[in-house]
Structure 1
């Protein structure tokens, strides 16, 4: 069961049970400014532990309460099964996208990682 499917009163209790690594991953996801992204590997590198698969697993299990759409695949492909929800968020936040070519499956854009990638340098508003 994911955190986002829990009732509000159970969510706080569930959050207390998060593994420490998961908490750190989710903390990084919350730091990523609107319109910017980090890859799963970027998050692991920033934390200095784990790898892309571990970060992806944390986001899959616990990421519903953070800006999950800002932690992305290294190829810029939108998260399978969540493409349209993510695309709405990217467009609302002004995240740089590469429009899909006619041959692209589903004609969905990809994230323009060269322009959208956040290196953890400048902090999002409200975070220090």
Structure 2
């Protein structure tokens, strides 16, 4: 699978995540089906590439990138400071996802995966790459 096809499949998979739910791109927590988007697209060892595919989304894209977080439930910082993580937090909260912070006014931003996680069996997720 070349990079363009991989990206198209990632975007199709991310579009399947329901509003108010999140799933993972990184592989570190077996409790919550680590690297779930990578598993859905049939490339379970390529979770970092999922993050890269989402990183290259153009501004104004309708792909709900904010619904993909680390497998431990944290929102990864993007670039210097916390502006990217704050943007993701705001987008998730607008969808009804509660995001906690480890310390008031700072610290790790985290989503309760037991409550908001979306981890269907990859074989049950239909990817419509035409829509990606």
TM-score, normalised with respect to structure 1: 0.69
List gaps (5 residues or longer) in structure 1.
1-17, 124-128
Instruction: Judging by fraction of residues, say which structure has more strand.
Output: 2
Deviation at 1:59, TM superposition (A): 0.9
Partner of 2:41: 47
List gaps (5 residues or longer) in structure 2.
26-34, 79-83, 126-132
TM-score, normalised with respect to structure 2: 0.67
Partner of 1:29: 14
Q: How does 1:79-98 map to 2 (within 5 A)?
A: 79-81=76-78, 82-97=84-99
CA-based RMSD? 2.5
Q: Which has the larger radius of gyration?
A: 1
Partner of 2:128: none
Partner of 2:28: none
Deviation at 1:75, TM superposition (A): 2.0
Instruction: Judging by fraction of residues, say which structure has more helix.
Output: 1
Deviation at 1:105, TM superposition (A): 8.1
Deviation at 1:108, TM superposition (A): 5.0
Residues 88 and 70 from structure 1, CA distance in 2 versus in 1: closer, same or farther, beyond 3 angstroms? same
8 Å CA contact retained: 1:96, 1:115: no
